[in-house]
């Protein structure tokens, strides 16, 4: 397991920090509560022991108890160790929401390795970059054509040496599994039989007596979570065991009404996304909930699942809640079982919050976070005032300040606009193999978010603008540079600039401004066809506009600000 020098993120111990939220904190929640360093293995084992007979996972009707999942985790941990996983080893998880993800996540950590999350929608060049950068030698994936072929193509072309292949039919209820093998055979990938491919069943073929690994939760890296950070270049945020378990404790404290061992949570957010990894999986398991797993977000399936399985908790992104409310058959499906929802990933419109609460009777609050913060740092309170446009107040143990845009070391008083910075036990150890980026992002123990905002006299924070170019599309981070690099691969493209524009459904969507080479007849449809195997669906520009010239700075660098201003004028005009 990757070890890092111990890093503290509590500079408040050395100087007085203005904390206006303390006088307005929710009743019954202690901002200064103790947060104990813990490993994720310890978190899981405690839950498995306490809730052994309780349902843990429900995947399309097949259910597993906590004891059954614990047995699978331990056997997989021993299997991973037999494959060489130990301290320093990086294991990629390229999986949708299935029991395989949960089992392999905790098994890798118990074996002493570090998890690297991969989006199953990544195209080959994105997979290759992250494999090389993270030093991933072993990957876990699924045997379906939507996922495996791109992962399999990495063998022999990157440093990836082995792939653990999980069978889709192996996690379905008996009848569904049989029908899948018979009727969905065309959706299964052809898996080579050789030493580079390890069947998941073979990984489990042992007694589960893995060799325990000594882990210091404060210094051992549990997860490399790739993010664009403040520069737009994807890089691995090093999240320690203590970072991730601290965030579980912080978010758990914010929801004191959650009944341990009694709740059922809808897991429609993908676990490879840090929000779901913490708030759905890790928090859910720590609280003894039953996770109802959905491999992807399909509105009709989600409505049917809510009506049938009656989940009480439903973390999501605004586009999910909006999609449910906009479904023409919404009235046919009761949603009143839902008690609490935490929205993240993108701003939550107040009207959407009101409509969803009216239909369900639940409490829906907006939170704010970043991959670098494990991820949640602030949220609106469950009781009391939810201020329109606010991301709420800091969670227990989180210190949030507004700093000068000219001098990032200088805190600003209440009501002044500046950069939002964060400190606390949930802040990452740094960026993997990028000390310069780490030094620019963590200054004096505070993480610079790249977001501009203000804090009011009650400690509520309001975001005003983004210093970074990151596009938040349906709760996912979309990096303009990734799209631009793909567009530049077309031989008829002279120059391209990508920005985010408002999108009624996804919050934002990418728009590409393209300058063609002379005499080119390239069309938007032709360019999208060219990009089909180079970008994921979420990254594909929704709008493409051709220009004879693109705005540039005085030194000839392509400039986005003029295009952003034009788009804003169009909307307001």
| The pLDDT of residue 393 | 97
- 350-376 pLDDT, tens digit per residue, is 788 888 999 999 989 999 999 999 999
> Which residue intervals of the chain bear CATH 3.40.50.980?
40-214
| The pLDDT of residue 12 | 44
d(CA 312, CA 290): 10
Q: Which stretches of the chain drop beneath a pLDDT of 50?
A: 1, 3-15, 230, 555
- 471-572 belongs to which homologous superfamily? ANL, C-terminal domain (3.30.300.30)
Q: Find the largest Cα–Cα distance for the chain.
A: 70
Any residues with CB less than 8 A from the CB of 419 and at least 6 apart, and which?
A: 402, 403, 404, 405, 408, 448, 449, 450, 451, 452, 453, 467
Cα–Cα nearest to 313, from 364, 353, 356? 364
| The pLDDT of residue 177 | 66
| The pLDDT of residue 351 | 81
Per CATH, domain 40-214 is 1.10.260.40:
no
H helix count then E strand count, the chain: 17, 26
| The pLDDT of residue 553 | 62
């Amino acid at each position: 397991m990757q070890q890092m020098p111990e890093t503290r993120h509590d500079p408040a111990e050395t100087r007085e920090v203005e904390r206006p939220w303390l006088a307005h904190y929710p009743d019954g929640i202690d901002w200064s509560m103790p947060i104990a360093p813990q490993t994720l293995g310890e978190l899981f084992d405690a839950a498995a022991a306490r809730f052994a007979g309780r349902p843990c996972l429900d995947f399309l009707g097949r259910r597993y108890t906590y004891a059954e999942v614990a047995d699978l985790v331990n056997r997989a941990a021993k299997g991973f160790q037999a494959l060489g996983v130990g301290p320093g080893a990086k294991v990629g998880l390229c999986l949708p929401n299935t029991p395989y993800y949960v089992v392999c996540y905790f098994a890798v950590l118990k074996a002493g390795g570090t998890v690297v999350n991969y989006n199953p929608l990544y195209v080959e060049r994105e997979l290759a970059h992250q494999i090389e950068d993270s030093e991933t030698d072993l990957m876990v994936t699924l045997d379906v054509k939507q996922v495996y072929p791109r992962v399999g193509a990495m063998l022999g072309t990157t440093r990836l040496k082995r792939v653990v292949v999980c069978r889709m039919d192996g996690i379905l209820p008996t009848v569904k599994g049989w029908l899948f093998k018979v009727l969905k055979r065309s959706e299964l990938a052809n898996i080579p039989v050789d030493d580079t491919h390890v069947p998941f069943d073979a990984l489990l073929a042992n007694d589960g007596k893995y060799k325990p690994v000594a882990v210091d939760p404060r210094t051992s890296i549990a997860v490399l979570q790739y993010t664009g950070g403040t520069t737009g270049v994807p890089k691995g945020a090093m999240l320690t065991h203590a970072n991730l378990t601290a965030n579980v404790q912080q978010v758990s404290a914010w929801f004191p009404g959650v009944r341990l061992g009694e709740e059922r949570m809808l897991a429609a957010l993908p676990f490879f996304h840090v929000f779901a990894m913490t708030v759905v999986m890790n928090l859910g398991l720590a609280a003894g909930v039953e996770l109802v797993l959905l491999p992807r977000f399909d509105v009709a399936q989600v409505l049917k699942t809510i009506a049938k399985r009656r989940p009480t908790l439903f973390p999501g992104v605004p586009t999910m809640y909006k999609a449910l409310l906009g479904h023409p058959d919404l009235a046919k499906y009761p949603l009143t079982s839902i008690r609490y929802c935490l929205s993240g990933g993108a701003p939550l419109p107040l009207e959407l919050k009101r409509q969803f609460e009216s239909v369900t009777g639940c409490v829906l609050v907006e939170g704010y976070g970043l991959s670098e913060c494990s991820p949640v740092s602030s949220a609106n309170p469950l009781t009391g005032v939810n201020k329109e446009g606010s991301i709420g107040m800091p969670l227990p143990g989180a210190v949030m300040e507004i700093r000068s845009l000219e001098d990032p070391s200088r805190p600003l008083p209440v009501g002044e606009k500046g950069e939002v910075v964060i400190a606390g036990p949930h802040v990452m150890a740094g960026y993997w193999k990028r000390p310069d980026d780490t030094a620019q992002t963590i200054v004096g123990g505070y993480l610079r978010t790249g977001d501009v905002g203000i804090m009011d006299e009650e400690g509520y924070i309001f975001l005003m603008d983004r210093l970074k170019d990151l596009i938040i599309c349906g709760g996912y981070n979309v990096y303009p540079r990734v799209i631009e690099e793909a567009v530049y691969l077309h031989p008829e493209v002279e120059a391209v600039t990508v920005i985010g524009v408002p999108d009624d459904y996804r919050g934002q969507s990418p728009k590409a401004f393209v300058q063609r080479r002379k005499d080119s007849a390239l069309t938007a449809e032709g360019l999208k066809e060219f990009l089909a195997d180079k970008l994921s669906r979420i990254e594909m520009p929704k709008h493409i506009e051709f220009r004879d010239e693109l705005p540039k700075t005085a030194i000839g660098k392509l400039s986005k600000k003029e295009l952003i201003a034009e788009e804003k004028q169009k909307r307001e005009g």
